[in-house]
Amino acid sequence: KAKQAGGACVAFFTQDILVEASSRLTIAAELKRAITENELELYLQPQLDTLTGEVVGAEALLRWNHPVKGFLTPAAFIDVAEQTRAIRLVTGWLVKEAFSIIRRWESAGLELFLSFNISALDLADNELLERMTEELRRQPINPANIELEIVESAIIENFQSASAILSKLREMGFHVAIDDFGTGYSSLAYLDKLPVDKLKIDREFTSKLESGEGAGIVKSIIDLAANFKLRVLAEGVETYEQEQLLRSQGCNRVQGFYYSKPIPLTDFERKYLP
Ligand code: C2E
Ligand code: MG
Ligand code: MG
Ligand code: MG
């Protein structure tokens, strides 16, 4: 009987793995089609200067208008894309999009930067660096208007290669931000060597600001950023009270639902383009 049950268990297990593997392959293959068929869309969320309250830039967040599954947020596909080479296609698409958006903004006199998210795989070789170089040649813009967001672990896991690439991008004038700061290694030994301009405090800490414990962590990150001469932004600001605390602690930048949810690029441009 035990053997029978075990057998059934193995059968289920195998089937689950097969289903999972095939859905991975499907998502990866479908992302290729998504790019050629224009199913990917960027939603923009403003980033504000805490002191002036002015919008200074925006983060591009990916959405997928899937023909069968409908409107998908990154939770439904980014992990799988990151585990396959599909993420590199996505990032390649993002680079082109970001440059053409900035070119449009610059020619309209809109002085905002645009940030987009990249993954560990994008820093495993020179493809991203080459794409950015090529795109800058094809669509000349002020590189300071483009910022790349990367989680700390993606740099530290492959430190030599990743930091060399990010350093080169910064030498070209692009900006780099550490995303979800505080959730990864956060090692002081590394922070000193990271080729970055900005720390983005993870939403988890912002959401705990109103409790004493959360406020201490946020204050530590803000002080850390100041000591390393980095900008610091709090992600996921949802309330006036959080904004007040962040301002009094000296946080330079804020982003979150309190100011705006991510909105479609066209809506963003309708609002901000002169
Ligand atoms: P992230 O880069 O840390 O982006 C912040 C996420 O928090 C976004 O979720 C945003 O919609 C959400 N958010 C912003 N403000 C608030 C707030 O006040 N409250 C709450 N509850 N949430 C807020 P989203 O768009 O679902 O993206 C999730 C993650 O997917 C991103 O985290 C990023 O890691 C990844 N991602 C998004 N777009 C891309 C992309 O184009 N490429 C790559 N590689 N990853 C992406
Ligand atoms: Mg981000
Ligand atoms: Mg984040
Ligand atoms: Mg994140």
| 256 phi-psi bin (left φ>0, alpha ψ -120 to 50, beta other) | left
- Find the 13 Cα to ligand 1 centroid distance in Å: 32
Interface predicted TM-score (ipTM): 0.98
The tens digit of pLDDT for each residue in 60-92 reads 999 999 999 999 999 999 999 998 889 999 999
- Find the 180 Cα to ligand 2 centroid distance in Å: 7
- Name the residue at shortest CA distance from atom 23 of ligand 1: 236
Q: Give the integer Cα–Cα distance in Å for 230 and 73.
A: 30
Those residues whose C-beta lies under 8 Å from the C-beta of residue 94, and which sit 6 or more positions away, are 60, 62, 116, 118
SS3 of residue 131 by DSSP: helix
Q: Give the integer Cα–Cα distance in Å for 266 and 141.
A: 21
Question: Is 113 a pocket residue for ligand 1 (Cβ < 6 Å)?
Answer: no
End-to-end CA distance of the chain: 74
Burial of 122 (0-12, 13-18, 19+ CB in 10 A): buried
Question: Is 97 a pocket residue for ligand 1 (Cβ < 6 Å)?
Answer: no
- Name the residue at shortest CA distance from atom 35 of ligand 1: 74
The pLDDT, as a whole number, for residue 102 is 98
Q: Could you tell me the pTM of the whole model? A: 0.93
| Band of pLDDT at residue 220, cut at 50, 70 and 90 | very high
The pLDDT, as a whole number, for residue 21 is 67
Q: Give the integer Cα–Cα distance in Å for 144 and 141.
A: 9
Ligand 1 nearest-atom number relative to CA 202: 3
The tens digit of pLDDT for each residue in 13-71 reads 566 666 666 677 788 889 999 999 999 999 999 999 999 999 999 999 999 999 999 99
SS3 of residue 245 by DSSP: helix
Question: Which percentage of the chain shows pLDDT scores above 90?
Answer: 80
